[in-house]
Amino acid sequence: MSIVIKNINELVTLSGNAPRCGSEMSEVEIIENGWILIEDDYIKDLGQGDVKVSDNTKIIDAKDKTVTPGLIDPHTHLIHGGSREHELEMKLMGVPYIDILKKGGGILSTVKATRAMSKEELKKKVKKSMDKMLLHGTTTCESKSGYGLNFEDEVKCLELIRELKGDHPLTLVPTYMGAHAVPLEYRDTREKYIELMIDKVIPYIAQQGLAEFIDCFCEEGVFSIEESRRILNCGKNYGLKIKIHGDEIEPMGGTELAAELNAVSAEHLLATSEKGMIAMQRKGVMPVLLPATSFYLMLNKYADAKRMMELNLPIALATDYNPGTCPTESLQTVMTFACFGMKLTPKEIITAMTINAACAIGKQDTIGSIAPGKKADIVIFDAPNLNYFIYHFGINHVDSVIKNGRVVVD
Ligand code: NIG
Ligand code: FE
């Protein structure tokens, strides 16, 4: 099956397979009056002006529209039961996030809800979220476990991700995050929980190929640097690539640990020190920033994206979609906070949600760009230019979405 998208007002390509660092993030090629030829799953060709179209080709007219690579969300907690709107008033009264968790609320209340759901019930809920992601332009999303926190329920969540392959157009990239919190039943024996992960869960998940990455919530009151090092190193020894939730609230040194372990990415980074940023830059660790979470936690503080870029780091952006600190599936919402909170420009933002996001999940060879040979994952925005759909905020600008060469949102 061939598709031609033609008359594209602004075609944003972001070609290449390497992360764009610092000032390169704003060197975005835009083809005016562009076209794209798609054959089967792949992008075959692209150009400017008129395009020859052979028979049996579906033509999409993108006059007055902007076309970008499919958006990539490199950090989500997609697999969870329940929701936490009941915590909202408590948060508005100023109760800190970590205090809610310490009282058995927060992540731990979602653990209860997730454990209570069967795989089929959970699948129904997750699919609804995946539909929303696709409708808002996301074509690939990283998805963490971390609300099961025992062998059976962590495996249930990761198996669910595997079962969703082929069952939904969105691509999911699985991450094991058993080190999301210490479950209530291990509150007084946390060492036993760490042993369970190291001796049983991680080996099983790696042998079954249920995850590509391992992640850990390295934060004051959650997992210490030493504990995080043990857990992540265990995953690494079993062939999992490393991600880390670091320096979200306190500057604990999670970023330095990410550099030490050659992590693919370090995420959150609101409290990261200059030393941590330099360490990431030296080791090629991708910062994944989550500005909608900063907003939602009412921290009046964002990760220092501009300083990271001055140090020639690349930046990727993600939703952090989860029921506690960022209940939204929409990367377009994240664009708003990246722009008005972090002061990133539309060109920097689209780079951070396409090619750089692809690098954050190790998929830069196949997605993240509109270039011959890459998968035909494409979003058509009903907006005349890239600046417009970030400037005009709070609504969904997606006109259509193409995933693996097929129109999935029309
Ligand atoms: O990335 N920081 C840890 N985990 C999530 C929040 C999870 C929750 O509150 O349920 C995050 O913000
Ligand atoms: Fe997170």
77 C-alpha vs ligand 2 centroid, how far in Å? 6
Q: Indicate if 249 and 351 belong to the same structural domain.
A: yes
CATH of the domain at 101: 3.20.20.140
For 293, residues 6+ apart whose C-beta sits below 8 A from its C-beta are 268, 320, 325, 326
pLDDT tens-digit readout, 234-275: 999 999 999 999 998 888 899 999 999 999 999 999 999 999
- Ligand 1: which of 322, 326, 328 to mutate, judged by most atoms within 8 Å of the beta carbon? 322
The CB density around residue 284, as the number of other CB atoms within 10 Å, is 15
- Ligand 1: which of 107, 144, 220 to mutate, judged by most atoms within 8 Å of the beta carbon? 107
What pLDDT does 84 receive? 95
Q: Indicate if 213 and 120 belong to the same structural domain.
A: yes
Q: Indicate if 64 and 165 belong to the same structural domain.
A: no
Ligand nearest to the CA of 80: 1
Q: Indicate if 129 and 190 belong to the same structural domain.
A: yes
Distance CA 95, CA 115 (A): 26
What pLDDT does 1 receive? 84
| Residue stretches of the chain with pLDDT short of 50 | none
Q: How many domains does the chain have?
A: 2
6 C-alpha vs ligand 2 centroid, how far in Å? 38
Q: Indicate if 61 and 201 belong to the same structural domain.
A: no
Domain-ending residue, one of 360, 386, 401: 360
What pLDDT does 127 receive? 98
CATH of the domain at 390: 2.30.40.10
- Ligand 1: which of 95, 289, 325 to mutate, judged by most atoms within 8 Å of the beta carbon? 325
Q: Indicate if 324 and 230 belong to the same structural domain.
A: yes
Question: What ligand 1 atom has the least distance to the C-alpha of 267?
Answer: 1
Q: Indicate if 213 and 344 belong to the same structural domain.
A: yes
Q: Indicate if 257 and 297 belong to the same structural domain.
A: yes
Q: Indicate if 169 and 272 belong to the same structural domain.
A: yes
As for ligand 1, residues whose beta carbon falls within 6 Å of it are 77, 106-107, 110, 217, 245, 248, 293, 320, 322-325
The CB density around residue 2, as the number of other CB atoms within 10 Å, is 16
312 is in an annotated binding site: no
Q: Indicate if 219 and 243 belong to the same structural domain.
A: yes
Distance CA 375, CA 367 (A): 6
What pLDDT does 251 receive? 86
Phi, psi of 320 (to 5 degrees): 70, 20
397 is in an annotated binding site: no
47 C-alpha vs ligand 2 centroid, how far in Å? 39
Q: Which two tokens stand for residue 350?
A: 């689209």
Q: How far, rounded to the nearest angstrom, does the alpha carbon of residue 8 sit from its chain's CA centroid? A: 27
Contact yes or no for 247/269 (Cβ under 8 A): yes
What pLDDT does 225 receive? 96
Distance CA 364, CA 384 (A): 27
Question: What ligand 1 atom has the least distance to the C-alpha of 75?
Answer: 1
Q: Indicate if 144 and 206 belong to the same structural domain.
A: yes
What pLDDT does 104 receive? 78
Domain that holds residue 388: 2-69+369-409
Domain-ending residue, one of 341, 360, 379: 360
Q: Indicate if 37 and 112 belong to the same structural domain.
A: no
